[in-house]
Amino acid sequence: MQNKYQFEGLMTVCESTTIYADSYEEALEEARQYFEDDLYAVSQGYTIPWDNVDVNLIDAMEFEDEEDDD
């Protein structure tokens, strides 16, 4: 009889997206929704939600609001 071994593999996927928003908080929430709700792993024909999603800001270009000089 052969020995039986069971292994678990933990894989990480890295994806980036560009979000246009009025504030960092709004953009972060939209990014979280995108990564948590729109992307799925596929295993043996089933879609599986991610166990843990860590969203990190990698670049930003913020503009200051222009005020009227009147």
Query: What tokens does 25 get?
Result: 């908080």
The pLDDT, as a whole number, for residue 50 is: 75
- Full residue range of the structural domain in which residue 44 is found: 22-51
8 in a domain, yes or no? no
DSSP label at residue 26: H
Question: Are 36 and 30 spatial neighbours (Cβ–Cβ below 8 Å)?
Answer: no
30 in a domain, yes or no? yes
1 in a domain, yes or no? no
Query: What pLDDT digit, counting tens, does each position of 12-63 carry?
Result: 778 889 999 999 999 999 999 998 888 877 878 877 777 778 899 999 988 8
Report how far residue 41's alpha carbon sits from residue 48's, in angstroms, rounded to the nearest whole number.
Answer: 5
In the block, residue with structure tokens 């609001």: 65
The pLDDT, as a whole number, for residue 67 is: 67
Claim: this prediction has a pTM higher than 0.75: no
The pLDDT, as a whole number, for residue 69 is: 57
